Amino acid sequence: MVDWGLSYLLSYAFFRPDNNGFATLTIFAVTQLLFLLVANGSLGHLIFGLRVVPVVPGYLGLWRPLVRTLLLCLFIPAVIYDKDQRGLHDRWAGTVLVRR
């Protein structure tokens, strides 16, 4: 919610208010990808003390944040989760959201 709200405010500030859906999604995707690459978590994750780590210990890399972000933008994988409460976007990217 924090990340989408920030993306919406930025798109509202810089693009036409009546047609900013794609701009909001693009800003959301770019901020997700950049924050995952730099800080292992989005701004919302960092505010609430969470971070994204790979299931197999090691470097998060470039492909995991990219896959996770693309699937998160589709929304459906984010609302379907497994018995461990991991969304499909995390499962398919090989990541897990943990407390810092």
Q: Which residue range(s) make up the domain with 51? A: 2-99
> 33 versus 17: which is more confidently predicted?
33
Angle between helices 21-39 and 63-74 (to 10 degrees): 150
Residues in the chain, overall count: 100
Closest CA to 53 of 95, 84, 82, 8: 95
**Banded model confidence at residue 85, pLDDT cuts 50, 70, 90:** confident
What is the domain count for the chain? 1
- Report d(CA 28, CA 23) in Å as an integer: 8
- Using an 8 Å Cβ cutoff, are 6 and 50 in contact? no
The per-residue pLDDT for 51 is 95
**Per-residue model confidence as pLDDT tens digits over 50-83:** 999 999 988 899 999 999 999 999 887 778 888 8
Q: Which two tokens stand for residue 3?
A: 């990340």
Is 23 exposed, middle or buried (CB count within 10 Å of its CB: 0-12, 13-18, 19+)? middle
